[in-house]
């Protein structure tokens, strides 16, 4: 028996002891996780800087702080979420009562990507633990320092039979997927998401797939352009655009295009300074392969802002491209880097048609003050989630379940959404023995009979 099989067996045996089920156990585990994160905050921040050049500010706001906030939120609500939910019973079932019990699945496998290597591993783990599961976390091999720091935190907080970390790349992920898991939660690319679902299907294991795609950002002529420019620059260029819900491209109404572009240029300078290659505070591109892929887009269309790249330091300036068409390389797949193509439109219905013809986006952002335009876009385009008059912010509220639709993903999490994702809803009807309504039985039509 290999070590992965032994680990899964050990976790399943632990799960079957029932120890993970009491709410007090889950609360203690989450508190230990919070304490271990706070204790190793400095270590995590340094690891994120070494792996991705993330600034301390970004490391806290988009990785560490967000996870601590999620733990606090879950601790506040876990008792009410875990309580059996009473539901109505129809008249035909008179005498009985109905309840839905939230039940943990068992052993959950969590596979994480590199772009927010701490947060995207730990946020689903919080849901898995809160719901009473055991979990095996497979972090990304592309951010080794952060994956090590994550392992340190999790080893300190959990018994390995409850939560374990397994480092490794594709082979490790595939070996884990060959095991019979009770739940698989995957965050990563669409192509790997399909392989994960295929592997899970062999055991009929339920999955959540948090994937990606091209997320549009629409700027209508009645938008507050200055705010739109600032919020788009922030959402696009944080983490050097390596964010699954970053605005992938902007569609701006032709009448305000020139003004919007000037404001966008100002916003980029205001947020990131004149030269990110010099500032030392801009996240770098994760690998040479991704750098080369992104660099090839820099010659598409016309460069309006930025365009400089430093191969030695894997840095690419915040770049805005104009004159781009859907035939250009930069428009074919998710960009996942600090390059923002700006397209133009005359009529909002053209944008709705163009976006709807393509794969359903993970996120969509609309900047408009018109209720009618909002309604048209919300009714006309299917997408995972998004914002009106902002970017990315929907991700950071625990009250909005986060997830994709179509090729951008299956399922959702965050807040109660995470608890629900990792819980089977067990529906139970409790029948009365005080009487027996005979209507359902064949050949017994003598009305209500006492037994």
Interface stretch with ligand NAD, choices 66-74, 89-97, 209-217, 364-372 (CB under 6 A): 209-217
**What are the C-alpha distances in Å from 367 to residues 89, 131, 268?**
45, 37, 18
Of the two residues 196 and 252, which places its CB atom closer to ligand NAD in the complex? 196
Tell which one of 104, 212, 216, 398 touches ligand NAD (CB under 6 A): 212
Residue 117 touching ligand NAD (CB under 6 A): no
Beta strands 339-345 and 134-138, pairing class: unpaired
Of the two residues 51 and 221, which places its CB atom closer to ligand NAD in the complex? 51
Identify residues 8-37 at the interface with ligand NAD (CB under 6 A): none
Q: Which of 244, 317, 334, 387 is catalytic?
A: 244
Interface stretch with ligand NAD, choices 123-131, 181-189, 218-226, 371-379 (CB under 6 A): 181-189
**Contact predicate 356/334, CB 8 Å:** no
**Contact predicate 356/378, CB 8 Å:** no
Beta bridge partners of 249: 216
Q: What is the closest distance, in whole angstroms, from the C-beta atom of residue 306 to ligand NAD in the complex?
A: 22
Q: What is the closest distance, in whole angstroms, from the C-beta atom of residue 65 to ligand NAD in the complex?
A: 18
Of the two residues 138 and 220, which places its CB atom closer to ligand NAD in the complex? 138
**Contact predicate 382/358, CB 8 Å:** no
**What are the C-alpha distances in Å from 80 to residues 9, 28, 76, 99, 398?**
31, 16, 9, 14, 15
Q: Which residue has the tokens 């795609």?
A: 213
Residue 314 touching ligand NAD (CB under 6 A): no
**Separation CA 102–CA 85 (nearest Å):** 8
Question: Is 210 assigned a catalytic role?
Answer: yes
Question: Is 288 assigned a catalytic role?
Answer: no
**What are the C-alpha distances in Å from 376 to residues 255, 360, 390?**
20, 16, 18
CA proximity to 342, closest of 359, 319, 365: 319
Interface stretch with ligand NAD, choices 87-95, 184-192, 314-322, 347-355 (CB under 6 A): 184-192
Residue 150 touching ligand NAD (CB under 6 A): no
Residue 268 touching ligand NAD (CB under 6 A): no
Residue 375 touching ligand NAD (CB under 6 A): no
Residue 120 touching ligand NAD (CB under 6 A): yes
Q: What is the closest distance, in whole angstroms, from the C-beta atom of residue 4 to ligand NAD in the complex?
A: 13
Of the two residues 82 and 112, which places its CB atom closer to ligand NAD in the complex? 112
3-class DSSP state of 126: helix
Q: Which of 210, 217, 317, 387 is catalytic?
A: 210
Neighbours of 430 (CB within 10 A): 10
Residues assigned a catalytic role: 210, 244
């Amino acid at each position: 028996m290999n070590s992965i099989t032994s680990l899964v067996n050990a976790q399943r045996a632990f799960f079957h002891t029932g120890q993970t089920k009491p709410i007090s156990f889950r609360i203690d585990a989450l508190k230990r996780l919070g304490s271990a994160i706070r204790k190793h905050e400095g270590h995590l921040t340094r690891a994120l800087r070494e792996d991705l050049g993330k600034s301390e500010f970004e490391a806290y706001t988009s990785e560490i702080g967000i996870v601590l906030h999620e733990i606090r939120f879950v601790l506040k609500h876990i008792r009410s979420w875990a309580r059996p939910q009473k539901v109505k019973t129809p008249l035909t079932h008179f005498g009985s009562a109905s309840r839905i019990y939230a039940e943990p699945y068992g052993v959950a496998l969590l596979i994480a990507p590199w772009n927010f290597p701490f947060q995207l591993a730990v946020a689903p783990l919080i849901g898995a633990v809160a719901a009473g599961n055991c979990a095996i976390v497979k972090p990304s091999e592309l951010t080794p320092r952060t994956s090590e720091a994550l392992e340190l935190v999790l080893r300190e907080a959990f018994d390995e039979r409850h939560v374990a970390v397994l480092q490794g790349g594709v082979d490790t992920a595939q070996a884990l997927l060959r095991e019979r898991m009770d739940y698989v939660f995957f965050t990563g690319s669409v192509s790997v998401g399909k392989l994960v679902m295929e592997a899970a299907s062999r055991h009929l294991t339920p999955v959540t797939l948090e994937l990606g795609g091209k997320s549009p950002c629409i700027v209508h002529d009645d938008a507050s352009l200055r705010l739109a420019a600032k919020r788009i620059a922030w959402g696009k260029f944080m983490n050097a655009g390596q964010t699954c819900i970053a605005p992938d491209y902007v569609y701006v109404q032709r009448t305000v295009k020139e003004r919007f572009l000037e404001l966008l240029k100002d916003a980029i300078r205001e947020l990131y300074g004149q030269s990110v290659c010099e500032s030392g505070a801009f996240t770098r591109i994760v690998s040479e392969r991704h750098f080369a892929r992104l660099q090839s887009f820099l010659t598409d269309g016309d460069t309006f802002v930025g365009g400089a790249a430093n191969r030695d330091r894997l840095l690419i300036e915040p770049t805005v491209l104009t004159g781009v068409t859907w035939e250009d390389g930069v428009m074919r797949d998710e960009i996942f880097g600090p390059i923002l193509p700006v397209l133009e439109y005359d009529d909002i219905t053209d944008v709705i048609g163009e976006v709807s013809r393509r794969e359903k986006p993970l996120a969509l952002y609309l900047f408009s003050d018109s209720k009618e335009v909002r309604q048209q876009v919300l009714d006309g385009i299917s997408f995972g989630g998004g914002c009106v008059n902002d970017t990315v912010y929907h991700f950071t509220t625990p009250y909005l379940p986060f997830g994709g639709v179509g090729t951008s993903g299956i399922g959702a999490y965050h807040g109660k959404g995470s608890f629900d994702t990792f819980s089977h809803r067990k529906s139970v009807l409790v029948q009365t023995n005080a009487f027996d309504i005979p209507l359902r039985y064949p050949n017994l039509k003598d009305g209500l009979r006492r037994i």
